[in-house]
Amino acid sequence: MNKGLNPNILFKKNDNGALLAWHGDSGVSLLEEDGLFFKDLSKDGVLHPYEDWRLPPKERAKDLAARMSVEQIAGLMLYGLHQTVPGEGNPFMPVLYGGKAFSESGADVSDLSDGQIEALRKEEMRHLLIAQVSGASDAARWNNNLQALAESLPLGIPVAIGTDPRHGNDNSKEFNAGSGGDISAWPEELGMAASFDPGLVRRFGEIAAKEYRALGITSALSPQADLATEPRWFRFSGTFGESAHLAADMARAYIDGMQTSGKEARTFEGWGSESVAAMVKHWPGGGCGEGGRDAHFAFGKYSVFPGGNLQEHLKPFTEGAFELKDGTKKAAAVMPYYTVPFDQDSAEGENVGCSYSKYLITDLLRETYGYDGVVCTDWGITTDQSEIETVMTGKCWGAEDLTQAQRCLKILMAGVDQFGGLSEKAPVLEAYRLGIEIYGEEQMRLRFEQSAVRILTNLFLTGLFENPYVDPEQSDRIAGCAEFMQEGFEAQVKSVILLKNNDGVLPLKKNVKVYIPKMFTKESRDWFGNIVPEHWDFPTDRTLAEKYLTLAEQAEDADCALVFLHAPDGLNRAAGGYSVEDRKNGGNGYVPISLQYRPYTAKKARGVSIAGGDPKEQFMNRSFQGKTVTVNNESDLDILLETKERMGNKPVIAVMASLGPVVVSEFEEKADALLLTIGDLHQAVLEIITGKKEPSGLLPFQIPADMDTVEMQQEDVAFDMRCHSDTEGHCYDFAYGMNWGGLIEDERTRKYGRG
């Protein structure tokens, strides 16, 4: 099997001009004018403006949009479901090759599936979302096959391959394990925010763009610029925290790094063949769901603003993502969230999901803030809702009584351009026909062309019309190379926050014996509802731990203990806030989301919810006042307390992996040293506790004193909780952190302080 570049892919470099690449079997030939060469994508022997790389991208996009049929534009508006390379085991859809499963088909891993071929040919789709890939070179060859097919079709419009964030840390590997298509491992966004260093985030954007382009990816569904003012929200870890100032600087740096090509690769302003178009999300901010619930679920559809603070949530977009320092000027695309921002529409008075809201998209985003880029819905918002408690349902919040075509029309007329997760153009074409009856054909054609120009402009800006192909051998050299893996690991270290270091117990002295207790995980359900069996595990990779520490099998034989904890309810928080059992027992189904280990009763919760209402509910009040919940991993606390008892006067070091704020008052006094990580960053922790690195992370959020202050804070307001104070008298407030010298006070804390 040929792992290199297909010899049928041909190249032509213009003197002081564009590098052209095309597939020899696609029907494309070259046109020559004034000694320069151009791809004849229309295959008619005429150089059209959209084929002329000398012209500005938007001018080319306008020319091409005018040539497209309504059917072709409808296909362009689709942003398809998650793809895997190869398609075996895709959790979102069955994938066939010649009518057979991959393992039975004899297909190569880079071959196009039946569905992908149909998506391009029949549905005329030009945006696909890639999930799992078997390796960098496989992804590159799959991209090349995809682009060759697209190039052979009328007008020769290339494919934009998109991705959700994919640079998360794999705790089973060492930081430099970058072979076989792996990409560099970085902290979550919230972990990068803990560095308080926009320069680090910009560097991440640069590296991510290089690795994405090596995989054929030119569209990133990131960064997540939501202002995280609700501490119970499970997507907190994907944000840059609760400070609008810090989040704006971080979002700007992220996008500048991702979208800006190096000088040699630039073709228009800061754009070029090294750029990846960033889709910033989620307008106008999804970080204030009532009670911490999330809008992937019908029970979490409402975001609320008891503090009247919507404008603060816009700042990471308006002062960050839309105010870039480099030449690309603004994020290439925006994704609204699923949420219904309750009673925030001052024009139409509608309570609908963000993508359905003309006020949020046209009046606010486009007219007030002048954003004219692509707006793409979040995934699956045009399909019907099923059960209220499942994530595997359509998310048509506020438009449940409309047909799918009516939803598509409402979304388009609100000012949105693309439909995330929609893989068939039929409802978009039906929306066009419905629109003609209301607005007339001329207006609907203009509306379609308007979106087509925005979408096509991004394809031109990233250079896909000139060269959409990727060299697989180069992909293997770039993705996950040692240099990028090292930089990602250094970022992990900078994200670790030292909260407590009583009597300077850290860093550990050489040759101390360390006891690491096993951790118990009870049976639970994951994001998709699958059962995760109960199990006992050594909490980190033992081989890795032994490279840093001398391990003792029993607490009695150790000089100190190292206890790895997961934040309370780590496995269930995604679907938190709702209980089918409570509903079946006569309740309304709504329950608290707890940030503490011990059973929690929501005595201070609202007696009447701010928002409510769903077609599948016969009531409006979603209150959970007085209800009790028990988290999934209460045993983590038990093990820490048991370890402290067994260790006696010998020090105990606690390392908590969290996804956001957590109540630490239940155990902090039992820990001589306490470190907080955003996700499992065990090797970074081992580097720090053994003194190879010094901690430098700062809290990008507040640590609450207890659950009462969590209940009494306002979902849309930052910095409104009473913070925990530890046994050393330190207050765990925003921007708090320690190094070996004590409390950190430096340029970062002076600049960002309390936001």
Catalytic residues: 378
Distance from the first to the final alpha carbon of the chain:
55
Please choose, from the candidates 720, 706, 725, the residue with its C-alpha nearest in 3D space to the C-alpha of residue 594: 706
Q: DSSP of 656-717, one letter per residue?
A: EEESS----TTTGGG-SEEEEEES--HHHHHHHHTTSS------SS--BSSHHHHHHS-TT-
Angle between helices 441-461 and 404-414 (to 10 degrees): 70
Q: How far apart are CA 601 and CA 22, in angstroms?
A: 64
The tally of CA atoms less than 13 A away on the side-chain side of residue 160 is 31
Q: For residue 325, is it left (φ>0), alpha (ψ between -120 and 50) or beta?
A: alpha
Three-state helix/strand/coil letters over 5-17: CCCCEEEEECCCC
Pair of tokens at residue 625: 């006042």
Distance set, CA 205 to CA 42, 181, 260, 266 (Å): 35, 19, 9, 16
Helix (H, G, I), strand (E, B) or coil at 3: coil
Q: How far apart are CA 202 and CA 224, in angstroms?
A: 14
Q: How far apart are CA 394 and CA 296, in angstroms?
A: 9
Task: Say which residues have a Cβ less than 8 Å from residue 546's Cβ, sequence separation at least 6.
Answer: none
Pair of tokens at residue 498: 């030292």
**What type of residue sits at position 392?**
M
Helix (H), strand (E) at residue 442? helix 441-461
Strands 513-515 and 550-552: parallel
Helix (H), strand (E) at residue 190? helix 189-193
